[in-house]
Structure 1
Amino acid sequence: MTELSTPLHAEHLAAGAAMTDFAGWQMPLRYTSDRAEHQAVRGRAGLFDLSHMAQIEVHGPQADLALDAALVSAVSRLRTGRARYTMLVTSEGGILDDLIVYRLADDEFLVIANAANRATVVDQLTVRSASFQVGIVDRTTSRALIALQGPRAAEVLATQTAADLDALRYYSATPTEVAGVPVLLARTGYTGEDGFELSSAAVSATELWQALLEAGEDAEVVRCGLASRDSLRLEAGMPLYGQELTDQLSPYDVGMGRLVHLDHEFVGHEALAARAEQPPRHHLVGLQGEGRRAARAGYAVFLAGEQVGEITSGILSPTLGHPIALARVDRELSADTDVTVDVRGTPTPMTVTKPPFYRRQN
Structure 2
Amino acid sequence: MTPTSELPLKRTPLHAAHLRAGARMVPFGGWDMPVQYAGLKAEHQAVREAAGVFDVSHMGEFRIQGAGALAFLQHVTPNDVSKLRPGRAQYNWLPNDAGGLVDDIYIYMVGENEYLMVVNASNIDKDWAHLQAHVGTFDVQLSNESDRWALLAVQGPKAAAILQPHVDVDLSSKKKNAYFAAKLFGFDVMLARTGYTGEDGFEVFVDASEAETVWDKLLAIGVTPAGLGARDTLRLEAGFPLYGHEFGDDIHPLSSHYGWVVKDKAHHGRDALRQPAAQKLIGLKLEKVPVREGYPVLQGGQVVGHVTSGTSSPTLGHPIALALVRADAAEATDFEVEVRGKSHPATRTAVPFYQP
With normalisation by structure 2, the TM-score equals: 0.95
What is the aligned length? 350
User: Paired residue for 1:287, among 284, 287, 311?
Assistant: 284
8 Å CA contact 2:68, 2:113 repeated in 1? yes
- Match status 1:330 vs 2:326: yes
C-alpha distance in 2, partners of 1:165/1:100? Answer: 21
- Match status 1:74 vs 2:70: no
C-alpha distance in 2, partners of 1:210/1:54? Answer: 23
8 Å CA contact 1:314, 1:323 repeated in 2? yes
- Match status 1:229 vs 2:231: yes
- Per-residue CA deviations over 1:89-142 (Å, capped at 9, x if unaligned) read 111221110001011111111111100101111111122123111111111111
Aligned residue for 1:303?
299
C-alpha distance in 1, partners of 2:41/2:342? Answer: 26
C-alpha distance in 2, partners of 1:135/1:81? Answer: 20
Q: 3-state DSSP class of the match of 1:27?
A: strand
Q: In the alignment, residue 248 of structure 2 is paired with which amino acid? A: T
Q: 3-state DSSP class of the match of 2:147?
A: helix
Of the structure 1 ranges 137-146 and 329-338, higher mean CA displacement relative to structure 2 is found in 329-338
Aligned residue for 2:260?
258
Aligned residue for 1:211?
217
C-alpha distance in 1, partners of 2:328/2:351? Answer: 15
User: Paired residue for 1:320, among 296, 316, 319?
Assistant: 316
- Match status 1:85 vs 2:126: no
8 Å CA contact 2:98, 2:250 repeated in 1? no
8 Å CA contact 2:95, 2:273 repeated in 1? no
Please, which runs of 5 or more residues in structure 2 have no aligned partner? 1-6
User: Paired residue for 1:10, among 12, 16, 24?
Assistant: 16
C-alpha distance in 2, partners of 1:236/1:72? Answer: 23
8 Å CA contact 2:280, 2:330 repeated in 1? no
- Match status 1:119 vs 2:120: no
- Match status 1:23 vs 2:23: no
8 Å CA contact 1:308, 1:331 repeated in 2? no
C-alpha distance in 2, partners of 1:73/1:178? Answer: 32
C-alpha distance in 2, partners of 1:356/1:63? Answer: 34
C-alpha distance in 2, partners of 1:139/1:17? Answer: 27
Q: In the alignment, residue 248 of structure 1 is paired with which amino acid? A: D
C-alpha distance in 2, partners of 1:330/1:338? Answer: 14
- What CA RMSD, in Å, does the superposition of the two structures yield over aligned residues? 1.3
8 Å CA contact 1:251, 1:260 repeated in 2? no
Aligned residue for 2:270?
269
Q: In the alignment, residue 352 of structure 1 is paired with which amino acid? A: R
C-alpha distance in 2, partners of 1:335/1:147? Answer: 36
C-alpha distance in 2, partners of 1:284/1:272? Answer: 16
8 Å CA contact 1:237, 1:355 repeated in 2? yes
* Identity %, equivalent residues: 43
